[in-house]
Amino acid sequence: MYDIAVIGAGPAGASAALFAAKAGKNTLLIHNDKSMTKRAWLENYYGIEEISGPDLIDIGKKQAVKFGAAVKDEKVQNIVKIDVGFRIETNIGQYEAKYIIIATGALTELAEHLGLKIKPATEPRIKTVIDVDTNGQTSLDGIWAAGTAAGVSVHAIITAGDGARVAINVISEINGERYVDHDILKTSE
Q: Where are the domains of the chain?
A: 2-175
pLDDT of residue 41: 87
Task: Tell me yes or no: is domain 2-175 CATH 3.50.50.60.
Answer: yes
Q: What does the mean pLDDT of the chain come to?
A: 94
**123-177 per-position pLDDT tens digit:** 888 999 999 999 999 999 999 999 999 999 999 999 999 999 999 999 999 999 9
Q: Specify the amino acid at residue 171.
A: I
Please state, in angstroms and rounded to a whole number, the distance separating the CA atoms of residues 95 and 78.
11
Q: Please classify residue 87 by burial: count the beta carbons closer than 10 Å to its beta carbon, then call 0-12 exposed, 13-18 middle and 19+ buried.
A: middle
Contacts 24+ apart (CB under 8 A), 173-180: 173/99, 174/3, 174/4, 174/25, 174/98, 174/99, 179/23
Residues linked to residue 80 through DSSP beta bridges, in sequence order: 87
Give SS3 for 184.
coil
For residue 86, give the nearest of 78, 98, 104, 73 by alpha carbon. Answer: 98
For residue 181, give the nearest of 170, 168, 169 by alpha carbon. Answer: 168
Query: Which residues in the chain come in under a pLDDT of 70?
Result: 189
pLDDT of residue 168: 98
Q: Specify the amino acid at residue 100.
A: I
Q: Please give the C-alpha separations between residue 98 and each of 46, 80, 107, in angstroms, as whole numbers.
A: 33, 11, 23
pLDDT of residue 153: 92
pLDDT of residue 176: 97
